[in-house]
Amino acid sequence: MARRHTRAAIAALAAALVVAAQLLRFGAALALSVELAVPRAESWLTRLGPEPVREEIAIAVGGRRLDADLYWPSRPRSAILLVHGLSRAGRRQPELVRLARLLARQHELVLVPAFEGLAAFRLSGREVEEVRSALRYLTRLSDSVSVAGFSFGGYADLRNVVAYATTGAYSFDGRHYQGRQEEYNRWKLLALLAGFVNGRRDRGLLAMIAAAKLADPAAPTARLERQLGDEGRRVMALALNRREAAVGGLLAGLPRRAGDAVDRLSPLRVVSRLPGRLLIGHGVDDDSIPFTESLRLADAAGGRAQVAVLQTFNHIGPDAVWRSLRLRAVDGWNLFRLADALLPH
């Protein structure tokens, strides 16, 4: 009898050691994926470790300063740069702040700069050098550095985003979809393209129209639209268009500088040359960027990409209503796989 009890105790101890080893290996990825898929779980999981410290810093960029938040974990193992999307809140967008803290709790040193152009819905070209400078800063603090883009950073071809924002249409691999249009994105698109119009007068008028519509989509802007010149009218026609068949012609008719910007801001042509792995998560219910753009990116990256299409996520996070426990569980598993690939072991 004593021998039997001894064998049972040894078996129990071995099982406990196996469980402990698995928790050590996969615990961080499991915690992060649960917190992402079920935000309510964060309140009790945060008690398992110390809260990261957020430090406000400034990074030199060609004689200018780039303000940023640096989230310090208790024991940094690697570092990650978070590049926010087109958001007025910029680096302090609540979901982005939450993600930075979640990553820092899992021993990532997290840098979140304030990209003024992206916060103002415009691109000047300075953003590229700002990202480079932020990466150089991180490489001085860590030997292992990653970069993550969100929202506006999650597409392959800007033409497809234009079509989606204005008509709700998108497609991939021979399949065609029709999504719900979000009018707010139409006016973000107008604000973005306005900066690439040559004429100062048209550029200013388009910016005023976009600002008015972003504040109130029903705002009357007909008087401003009537003052537009040829370039401004062509950009305005694209923003107002709702017919999928017209998108190609309207894009071709954009002022040259704006058309060149659409090409330059499309990462599809360069993604195959990017070093390292490409980890992608995209919600099916994203009403800003169609999930098919992530499939297109992954396809272009070849075998270096790992993509998870999340059935219960929207543009900024999980859907508030649980439509299906099974789908939520599948998304949790896919998030776990991405988190395990991202986090240091």
The DSSP code sequence of 195-242 is TT-S-HHHHHHHHHHHHHHHH-TT---HHHHHT--HHHHHHHHHHH--
Compare 152 and 301 and report the one with higher pLDDT.
Answer: 301
Q: Please list, in sequence order, all residues whose beta carbon lies within 8 angstroms of the beta carbon of residue 200, skipping any fewer than 6 positions away.
A: none
At residue 179, does pLDDT exceed 50?
yes
> Residue 313: pLDDT band by 50, 70, 90 thresholds?
confident
* Phi-psi label, residue 302: left if phi above 0, alpha if psi -120 to 50, beta otherwise: left
| Number of C-beta neighbours around residue 26 at 10 A | 16
**pLDDT value at residue 124:** 72
- For 235-276, the pLDDT digits (tens) are 999 999 999 999 999 999 999 988 888 888 888 988 988 888
Helix, strand, coil percentages (3-state) for the chain, rounded to 5, are 55, 15, 30
**Residue 21's pLDDT is what?**
39
Q: Tell me which of 75 and 41 has the higher pLDDT.
A: 75
User: How many C-beta atoms lie closer than 10 Å to residue 157's C-beta?
Assistant: 19
Please name the residue ranges forming H helices in 106-198: 116-119, 126-139, 158-167, 183-194
pLDDT tens sequence across 12-55 = 444 443 333 344 446 677 877 777 776 766 555 565 667 899 99
Of the two residues 151 and 322, the one the predictor is more confident about is: 151
pLDDT in tens, 184-234: 999 999 999 999 999 999 999 999 999 999 999 999 999 999 999 999 999
Average pLDDT taken over every residue of the chain = 86
State mean pLDDT over 125-148.
92
Among candidate residues 83, 101, 31, the one with its CA nearest the CA of residue 336:
31
Residue-level pLDDT at 18: 37
Displacement of CA 12 from its chain's centroid (Å):
45
Residue with tokens 């899992």: 106
CB 10 within 8 A of CB 292: no
Q: How far apart are the first and last CA of the chain?
A: 43
Residue 152 has pLDDT above 50, yes or no: yes
pLDDT of residue 16: 41
| Measured distance CA(176)–CA(47) in Å, rounded | 46
The pLDDT of residue 15 is 42
Neighbours of 276 (CB within 10 A): 9
C-alpha of 240 from chain center: 26
* Chain position carrying tokens 């360069």: 270
What domains lie within the chain, and their CATH numbers? Answer: 42-156+277-342 (3.40.50.1820), 158-264 (no CATH)
Q: What's the pLDDT at 148?
A: 92
